[in-house]
Amino acid sequence: MSETPTAAPRLKGGAKLAVDMGPLLVFMVAYFFGGRLVSLAGGLSGNEWCLREGAEMYLAVAGFMPAFAAAFAYSVWKEKRVAPMLMVSAVIIGVLGTLTLVLHNKTFFYMKPTVVYLLFAVLLYGGMRSGRNFLRTLFDGALHLPEPVWRTLTIRYSLFFVVLAVLNEIAWRWLTRDCPAVAAPVTGADGAFNWLLSECGGADIAKCAGEAAWVQIKVFGFTLASLVFTGLQAPLIAKHMQEDDKGEKDET
């Protein structure tokens, strides 16, 4: 008698929430409270450190990347698999985040959501055209739907990700149009870190309010839009799940 294969473990509850939201929380804290954290770290080490105005994004990216790497590694270790869309996010975050910090240019990270959403759209639609439904994999067996419904949902999600990519391009280009994207050296700053740190109380560039608005749109706006869009698919899913359940009962 053959044994039923054991399903791979899946993250649930607090562990899943920590993996999904933990890196974003680190990003938000580093961005909006980075100046205080840098000053505190400097005081604890016996130094006078001040975060350069306008360098909040660099500190946030520097905190976000290791936090995402830790969440990614924990997810793979616990679930014994690498989801395609998670791998896409990991590669893009690694490449664009590194370019942002190495070249001291925020444009790469401003464009990160655009690239991620476009590749999600290509992955979903391309997978469907090649006979692989990555959206079904994403839902992890929670939904049992006819194949035509999966195709409809895949097309909808692909178009939705394209719309998010376009909206991100409009948002960051408009909101940060007056913000310097590249960090220029500051006279008297602390050596190789003059793009991140500055003299405390010294003259510095002005903080860009538009960038903070884009950060909030990126974290909260796009997340809310995704939840609303998913909720709008509920009638289609509920209708065909009922039909699917009815068909299974009839066959029985």
Residues of the chain with pLDDT > 90: what percent?
48
The predicted pLDDT at position 8 comes to: 58
Spatial separation of the C-alpha atoms in residues 120 and 19, rounded to whole Å:
19
The predicted pLDDT at position 187 comes to: 47
- Return left, alpha or beta for 189; rule: phi > 0 is left, psi -120 to 50 is alpha, else beta: beta
Residue 142 CB: number of other CB atoms within 10 A?
Answer: 8
For residue 1, being part of any structural domain is answered with no
* pLDDT at position 135 over 90: no
Verify that 100 and 115 share a domain, yes or no. Answer: no
For residue 3, being part of any structural domain is answered with no
φ, ψ dihedrals at 50, nearest 5°? -135, 135
**54 or 213, which is more confident:** 213
Residues of the chain with pLDDT > 70: what percent?
84
Which residues are CB-neighbours of 210 under 8 A, at least 6 positions away? 174, 175, 176, 177, 178, 179
For residue 228, being part of any structural domain is answered with yes
* pLDDT at position 225 over 80: yes
The predicted pLDDT at position 252 comes to: 42
pTM for this predicted structure: 0.83
Angle formed at CA 229 by CA 141 and CA 159, multiple of 5 degrees: 90
Structure tokens at 126: 């391309």
Verify that 59 and 38 share a domain, yes or no. Answer: yes
For residue 5, being part of any structural domain is answered with no
Query: What is the domain range of residue 94?
Result: 10-105+180-203
Q: What is the pLDDT of residues 69-118, one digit of tens each?
A: 999 999 888 888 887 778 889 999 999 999 999 998 999 999 999 999 99
Highest mean pLDDT among 64-73, 78-87, 176-185: 64-73
For residue 135, being part of any structural domain is answered with yes
Spatial separation of the C-alpha atoms in residues 215 and 59, rounded to whole Å:
13
* pLDDT at position 183 over 80: no
Verify that 140 and 83 share a domain, yes or no. Answer: no
Verify that 115 and 127 share a domain, yes or no. Answer: yes
* pLDDT at position 186 over 60: no
- In total, how many domains does the chain have? 2
pLDDT band, very low/low/confident/very high, at 202 (cuts 50, 70, 90): low
